């Protein structure tokens, strides 16, 4: 089983590429945002704890997110592979994920880092905001999100580069071309 992290700035195409990879390879997919919403909706203990942080305007602690990911690993037992989308977002989360996988006798096999020029990211997100009506896709919020990404999330690339599993992927161009670049990396792991 391959454990993949799809990684990149907001608007880099993580969600789009995750969908294509799920279809192409039959991988399981975990979006931490979807996980949080599902746990809250179910009213589970994890969900109640997460909701209390969200309602207070705070970030959900890493330990709760890791607990949710571990629960999914145990329940789903993915066979072909697992794509994590939206996690880890900090080096501390990457370290916690590494520990979780080590506990289960596995590791992150590849970090697929979708690299897109800043101007293109902004244009993509503005367009998405116009098309979908997402309120967080306005210029001010986009600039804040990109700032947080560069300060907190981008250092994960170096963390995984040291482990030899970081793969920079050109994230511009046709979706099919980007998918082909990613597939080349995935196929080299098998």
* Cα distance between residue 145 and residue 8, in whole Å: 12
* Cα distance between residue 101 and residue 141, in whole Å: 34
> Catalytic: which of 37, 51, 71, 128?
128
What the block records as the tokens of 25 is: 């390879």
What the block records as the tokens of 107 is: 């590791």
> Do residues 156 and 108 lie in contact, with contact meaning Cβ atoms separated by under 8 Å?
no
> Catalytic: which of 37, 89, 124, 184?
89
Neighbours of 109 (CB within 10 A): 18
The H or E element spanning position 4 is strand 2-8
Among this protein's residues, is 37 annotated catalytic? no
Among this protein's residues, is 181 annotated catalytic? no
- Nearest to 156, CA basis, from 105, 100, 86: 86
Among this protein's residues, is 128 annotated catalytic? yes
> Catalytic: which of 76, 79, 80, 134?
134
> Do residues 159 and 152 lie in contact, with contact meaning Cβ atoms separated by under 8 Å?
no
- Return the residue matching tokens 């890791």: 66
Which are the catalytic amino acids? 14, 89, 128, 134, 145
């Amino acid at each position: 089983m391959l454990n993949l992290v799809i990684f990149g700035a907001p608007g880099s195409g993580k969600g789009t590429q995750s969908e294509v990879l799920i279809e192409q390879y039959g991988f399981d997919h975990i979006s931490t945002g979807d996980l949080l919403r599902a746990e809250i909706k179910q009213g589970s203990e994890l969900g109640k704890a997460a909701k209390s942080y969200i309602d207070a305007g705070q970030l959900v602690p890493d330990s709760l997110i890791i607990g949710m990911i571990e629960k999914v690993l145990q329940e789903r037992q993915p066979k072909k592979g697992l794509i994590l989308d939206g996690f880890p977002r900090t080096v501390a989360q990457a370290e916690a994920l590494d520990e979780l996988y080590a506990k289960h006798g596995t590791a992150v096999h590849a970090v697929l880092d979708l690299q897109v020029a800043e101007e293109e990211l902004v244009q993509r997100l503005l367009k998405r905001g116009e098309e979908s009506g997402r309120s967080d896709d306005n210029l001010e919020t986009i600039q804040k999100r990109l700032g947080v990404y560069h300060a907190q999330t981008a250092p994960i690339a170096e963390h995984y580069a040291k482990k030899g599993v970081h793969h920079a992927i050109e994230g511009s161009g046709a979706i099919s071309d980007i998918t082909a670049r990613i597939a080349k990396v995935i196929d080299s792991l098998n």
